[in-house]
Amino acid sequence: MDERQLRVLRELGELGSITAVAEALHVTPSAISQQLRLLQRSIPVPLTERAGRRVVLTDAGRALAVAAIEVESALARARHTVTDFVEQPDGEVSVAAFHSAASAFFPLLLRGLAGAGHPRPALSDEDVAQDRFPALTRDHDLVLAHRLDHAPPWPRTVIALTLLREPLDVALPADHPLASEPRLSPQDVADQPWITVHDGFPLMATIEAIASAANRRLDIVHRINEFAVVAEVVAAGGGLALMPRWTTRPHPDVVLRPLSGVQALRHVDVLHRPERTARKAVRTVLAELHRAAGTIRARDTGAPRPDTGSPGGP
């Protein structure tokens, strides 16, 4: 049995004829008869009987019609509960991010959503290989993910919006001979020891592009994913590294220099399943992430902080 069949039974008990029920529900009498037949298949006793030319409810039918009122009431309450949940402005919203994005975005997100009436972010760090980010949308409302500018797009099972297209610079000690150069080429840096991320993470593709452009294999001496640790190792003379320009904290003993000759950009994208943004709270957090991205870009460009969210925000 389903809700439509129970409603037909209830209306038949109240209105007294199939024709009257059909007029009330704006369908044909044959459609009403079909719903009654479908309902009868799941019930072991007769629900209707003939009274002259009319079809009326039996005692069992009347009992089930009364129960149908309770079912409709419960379903109405459930629908109102869902509506209230969807429109709730201050519900919890789970946000996951890889480490450097978490360091840059999470403080801005918490400050932007502070106070009563705002969503409550539940934050989580997730340092995974690129192909594992979409799966995180199963457990989190919003997922900050990274991919290189020329990498394949995210699967169509998730919605992806770009927050930043962030340059990747060469990090080197402040006293390194190359630190005085305004821009570096693959040939400039190919003979240096290198600190890179682990295999499977997007930055490795740019490392490989540097090696290809310089026509030599790079000497990879350390593999470290956390950029704060990378900066310390670079400062200590452990090698050069690729580091994102905006989402890593400056280190007093490390300088960043732009890289020419290869495509050195990464996307910082926010991923979510389509149904997640049905919630007002999630849309509010998504808009705040776009505002935070504007703030992060402005640190480099000197542009004013935007005061409006992205299109599609709440």
Quote the number of domains for the chain: 2
Residues 188 and 245 in one domain: yes
Asked if residue 223 belongs to a domain, the reply is yes
Residues 146 and 228 in one domain: yes
Residues 16 and 106 in one domain: no
Both tokens of 263, joined, read 């495509």
Amino acid 156 reads R
Asked if residue 55 belongs to a domain, the reply is yes
> Are the C-beta atoms of 289 and 184 separated by less than 8 Å?
no
Predicted confidence at residue 304, as pLDDT, reads 38
> Are the C-beta atoms of 220 and 249 separated by less than 8 Å?
no
- Average pLDDT score over the chain: 89
Predicted confidence at residue 84, as pLDDT, reads 67
Residues 201 and 55 in one domain: no
Q: Tell me the average pLDDT across 27-56.
A: 91
Residues 83 and 100 in one domain: no
**E runs forming strands in 192-235:** 193-196, 219-223
The domain that holds 154 is classified in CATH as 3.40.190.290
Q: Tell me the average pLDDT across 200-221.
A: 89
Q: Tell me the average pLDDT across 226-236.
A: 95
* Integer Cα distance of 135 and 158 in angstroms: 9
Asked if residue 312 belongs to a domain, the reply is no
Predicted confidence at residue 88, as pLDDT, reads 81
pTM higher than 0.85: no
Indicate the range of 46-55, 128-137, 163-172, 198-207 predicted with least confidence. Answer: 198-207
**Tens of pLDDT, residues 125-157:** 998 888 899 999 999 999 999 998 778 889 999
Residues 187 and 281 in one domain: yes
Asked if residue 314 belongs to a domain, the reply is no
Residues 145 and 228 in one domain: yes
* Integer Cα distance of 65 and 9 in angstroms: 6
Tokens 């379903």 belong to: 75
Residues 112 and 77 in one domain: no
Residues 41 and 148 in one domain: no
Asked if residue 33 belongs to a domain, the reply is yes
**Tens of pLDDT, residues 281-312:** 999 999 999 999 999 998 765 433 333 333 33
| String of DSSP letters for 259-311 | B-SS--EEEEEEEE-GGGGGSHHHHHHHHHHHHHHHHHHHHHH-PPPP-S--T
The domain that holds 24 is classified in CATH as 1.10.10.10
- Give the residue numbers spanning the domain of 246: 93-301
Q: Is 124 helix (H, G, I), strand (E, B) or coil?
A: strand
Predicted confidence at residue 22, as pLDDT, reads 93
Asked if residue 100 belongs to a domain, the reply is yes
Predicted confidence at residue 301, as pLDDT, reads 52
* Integer Cα distance of 156 and 313 in angstroms: 21
Most confident segment among 54-58, 59-63, 150-154, 284-288: 284-288
Asked if residue 283 belongs to a domain, the reply is yes
* Integer Cα distance of 34 and 37 in angstroms: 5
